[in-house]
Amino acid sequence: MAMSMKHMSIIIATLGVISFIFGVVAENKKPAAGTAIPGKGAVICKYRSDPTVALGFLSVIFLAASAVAGFSSLFHPYKGKSIPQAILLRSTTFVVFLNVALGTTGLAAALLLWPTISEQLHITRNIHHNLQTECPTAKTGLLGGGAFLSLDSALFWLVCLMLANNAREDYFEETEDFKGGPAVNYEPDVVIKSA
């Protein structure tokens, strides 16, 4: 079965929503702080078991999958007809939305990866020689912000897909007319009689 634009848009939207859900749940499950256990010359931070790191990485994976599906959907040959990339890139609106989609995807990835990696480091490097440490966790709010940007990214990919569809339709109409497609009736509506 060949992929249609409708199928691609459903895939992009679904992957973006799943990334959003994983990011929001990761933000909600993140502990505020760990428990400090004083020892001889060091403090050991004990963190409760939570799925924040796994959910954060899953959110990033689904964001990347949504972006790959979004980008590939723009240049995919639907119904066996491909369009030159230069035709798409000629449209200023398409280029602007493509750059916005790429930018929001990159920013979403940064906002999701930063607290996820930071949380993983806090969990693995849990022995501190500063006796005043309070067992920190990753910065609050970044995962949630990354989740919302992940959803925005999927929406921008969908806008790009709609703009690419418009450019495809215009291109194929122009080439069909140029190659002698359906004849256009150029007869005037009014016939002038000579005297």
DSSP letter string, 48-63: ---SHHHHHHHHHHHH
DSSP assignment of 80-117 equals TB---HHHHHT-HHHHHHHHHHHHHHHHHHHHHHHHHH
The torsion angle over the Cα atoms of residues 99, 105, 111 and 114, rounded to 10 degrees, is -110
Q: pTM to 2 decimals? A: 0.82
Tens-place pLDDT, residues 105-119: 999 999 999 999 999
Tens-place pLDDT, residues 122-178: 888 888 777 777 888 888 899 999 999 999 999 999 999 999 888 888 777 776 655
Write down the pLDDT at residue 192: 55
Q: How far is CA 121 from CA 114, 138, 144, in A?
A: 11, 9, 19
The torsion angle over the Cα atoms of residues 147, 148, 153 and 158, rounded to 10 degrees, is 120
Tens-place pLDDT, residues 9-66: 999 999 999 999 999 999 998 888 888 888 888 888 888 888 999 999 999 999 999 9
Write down the pLDDT at residue 4: 82
Would you list the domain boundaries of the chain?
Answer: 5-163
* Residue 83 and residue 170 in contact, taking contact as beta carbons nearer than 8 Å: no
SS3 127: strand
